[in-house]
Amino acid sequence: MEFNFLAISIAALVPIIIGFLWYNPKLLGTSWMKEAEITKEKLKASNMAIVFAFTLVLSFLIAFFLPQLTIHQIGALQLTGGDPALAEASYHLFIADYATAFRTFKHGALHGLLAGTFLFFPVIAINGMFERKSWKYIFINSGYWVVCLTIMGAIICGWV
């Protein structure tokens, strides 16, 4: 099983690309700014180059972890201690038979959707409730991550 750095790299760009669309004033940007209590002046005061640079780094972390959720064969690799050269013959037979099983864009999208819905949404909702944010704010932000993770999962799992 190979590490596909190209797929990880492209998936890491997804949050930036979707963010440009999702948080655009013509889509959800105006509602998000209102619910987040952010003004145009506050946005202009921030260093967007730094924000985007850190967004890319953090998106790489997410993309680097997503294969654990989207590619089932990684579980078998983990059982070898991470080194297939030390694995029993049964591992190699398993991989020969199932190396590409469930390795589709559709399957990755499903696991990305599940991660967004059952991991990211609850975390954002819990934080939002304690921060006294509206449910509109929570759904705008968690919806963004559900869409991003669905696309990222599709790229990572489907790019065999």
Q: What is the pLDDT along the chain (160 residues), one digit of tens a residue?
A: 566 899 999 999 999 999 999 999 999 999 999 999 999 999 889 999 999 999 999 999 999 999 999 998 988 888 888 888 989 999 999 999 998 999 999 999 999 999 999 999 999 999 999 999 999 999 999 999 999 999 999 999 998 6
Q: What are phi and psi of 124, to 5 degrees?
A: -65, -40
Q: What are the residue ranges spanned by the domains of the chain?
A: 5-158
Whole-number Å distance between alpha carbons of 111 and 31 = 28
Show the tokens assigned to 154. Answer: 């599709």
Is pTM, for the whole model, over 0.75?
yes
Nearest residue to 124 (alpha-carbon basis) of 112, 113, 136: 136
* Structure letter (DSSP) for residue 121: H
Nearest residue to 146 (alpha-carbon basis) of 9, 32, 22, 10: 22
Integer-rounded Cα Rg, in Å, for the chain is: 19
